[in-house]
Each structure stands twice: as structure tokens, then as C-alpha cells.
Amino acid sequence: MDFFILIVLFLYIPGLSASSFTRILRTSLDDSVDDVLLTYVNITHHVDCAKSCKSNCVAFTYEPETKECRTFAKRFCRNDTAEKLATVMLFVKVEKGQTPANPSDCNEMDPDVFCSGVYRITPSAGVSFDVYCDMETDNGPWTVIQNRQNGDEEFFRPWDDYKKGFGNPLGNFWLDDAMNLHNGMQFSTYDRDNDVKNDASCASINQGGWWYRACYDANLNGRIYVNGSDNSRSLVWDYFYPDVQWPHMMKTRMLVKH
Ligand SMILES: [Ca+2]
């Protein structure tokens, strides 16, 4: 998948006070019909539609087939990995300093401009990778470093996989980004035993990669529980309920920001 394909199409319109627009991708416009300011018909070109987007208009759509132009006072967030709308072109007004050329993490991205989605970040020079940025959870934006939503992705993996990260940023994945956050414990995988249990490997017993001590209260990279399976190997978060010991979780995600 190609991430960060920014279709930037700036329109500088002579005579208009330096309004510029960029074409953006978004999955759907269905929830926006009530936000239409004005609808124009028989507009022959999207540049002419842009000329209609003045004062309180911040976005417009143009449909070449029907020659229909619609203006909006509502902001649309952009999602660069979304499917392009089949026929409708969507443009938003660009304000100065709005687009981070090269964000170092999700927190640098304006949640009013960008939707939740996969973005390429550059945490340090020469190190870039794709992450899922969560723009909707409170106090965000958050960089999602782990997401479990079903059993499709194997999490019982060797050291190198956890080091690199694995999975699909839109589905189940692990992003190895916080090795030293977990109270001084080192990260262990079945092929690298860094736990403090001398007689066994916690990662092997509990079937995940984690900052095991001897062994865990949480095992978020353990196996998805299915009826009858061994709970100790499961995706577990103890103390989640006051009265249930070692409850298994069906979905988890880990969010970080600095
Ligand atoms: Ca051990």
C-alpha cells in the first residue's frame, strides 16, 4: 500500500485574495449533505466552483459529470489513505502552516485537518514508518502502537519481528516503540529471554512478546482467547475488573504520545 500520496492541487485564483485549495481524499460525503451552503449547477470547471467558495465557505465539491458545484462551511478532515471518491472532487481551503511536511509523530498533526488513519512519521532522522494516528480518542492525537481486534495476526513472534513491528496498521499490529517504558523490565520473546524468572521463559509459556517479569499482570500480545483455551496464554489484563481474576480481553490498543 502506498501511504501519504498527497494529491495536492493548489488553485491560485487571480483576483481572489490568495485563497488556495487542496484536493483531499475522504471515504464518504454522506454525512455532509446537511452542511451544504449553496449548490450551483452548470459549472464547467472546478476552478469556477472554487471562485464561488468565498467568505464563510471552507470547502467545496465538484462533480464533472453533473457539473454540480457545492460549497460548505464545514471543515473536512483529510485521510490520505482513503479511497478516492469515484466522481466527486473534494477541495478544502488551505490555511498557512496547516500541513506538517514531515511529522515526527501523530501529535504534530492537526486533528481538525487530518482524520484518523495511517500516516508516515519520522521520529528521528532517517527513521520513517507508517503508524495509525487516532484523532478521535480524548486528549489526542494518539500514536497507536498496538492494536488487537481479532485473531488474524500471529503475535507469538521472535525478537526481530517485535523490533521491526509487524501487521497491518489498519488491522492487527504491533509497533515496537516503547521498549523502556515498562518499569525497568526488558522485553522478551520466545527466542530471547530477558525476564527475571530463572527457571523458564515467560514469553514461551505465555505465548507473546512482552516486558515479562516472572511473568505478568498483563499479556496484551498473548493469544486471543477461544473457548476452552489456556487462559494464561491469552490476551489478559488483570485488575481490569475488581472481582474477576485474569480476565481475557477481546480487543486492545495501546496509545502513546509525548
Ligand atoms: Ca527466564
Determine the distance separating the centroid of ligand 1 and the alpha carbon of 197, expressed in angstroms: 4
Residue type, 234: S
Residue 178 has pLDDT above 70, yes or no: no
Residue 233 Cα to ligand 1 midpoint, Å, equals: 16
The β-bridge partners of 144 are 132, 255
Ligand 1 centroid to 1 CA: how many Å?
A: 39
CA of 188 to the centre of ligand 1 (A): 9
Please say if the pLDDT value at position 190 is more than 90. Answer: yes
Q: What's this model's pTM, rounded to 2 decimal places?
A: 0.66
Ligand 1 centroid – CA 204 distance (Å): 9
In contact, 75 and 112? CB cutoff 8 Å: yes
Which residues crowd ion ligand 1, with CB under 5 Å? 193, 195, 197, 201
Among residues 243, 199, 195, the alpha carbon closest in space to that of 219 is found at: 195
- Domain covering 21-93 assigned CATH 3.40.30.10 in the classification: no
Cα(237) to centroid of ligand 1, in Å?
A: 21
238 alpha carbon to ligand 1 midpoint, in Å?
21
Kindly give the distance from the C-alpha atom of residue 173 to the centroid of ligand 1, in angstroms, as a whole number.
25
Taking the centre of ligand 1 as the mean of its atom positions, its distance from the CA of residue 191, in whole angstroms, is 11
pLDDT at residue 180 greater than cutoff 50: no
CA 202 – ligand 1 centroid, Å = 6
* Distance (Å, whole) CA 143 – CA 159: 22
What separation in Å is there between the alpha carbon of 157 and the centre of ligand 1? 17
Domain positions in the chain: 21-93, 100-258
Distance 3 CA to ligand 1 centre (A): 40
**How far does the centroid of ligand 1 lie from the alpha carbon of residue 250, in Å?**
27
Q: Cell 485488575 sits at which residue?
A: 239
205 C-alpha to center of ligand 1: Å?
Answer: 10
Q: State whether the Cα torsion 23-24-27-28 is positive or negative.
A: negative
CA atoms of 234 and 221, how far apart (whole Å): 8
Domain 100-258 is classified in which CATH homologous superfamily? Gamma Fibrinogen, chain A, domain 1 (3.90.215.10)
pLDDT tens for 115-144 read 888 888 887 788 787 888 899 888 888 888
Q: What is the pLDDT of residues 8-67, one digit of tens each?
A: 444 455 544 567 888 888 767 777 878 899 999 999 999 999 999 988 899 999 999 999
pLDDT of 6 reads 37
Name the phi and psi angles at 192, rounded to 5.
-150, 105
| All three cell numbers of 173 | 499490529
What is the CA(181)–ligand 1 centre distance, in A?
20
> Which span out of 189-203, 221-235, 244-258 was modeled with the highest average pLDDT?
189-203
* Alpha carbon 156 to chain centroid, angstroms: 23
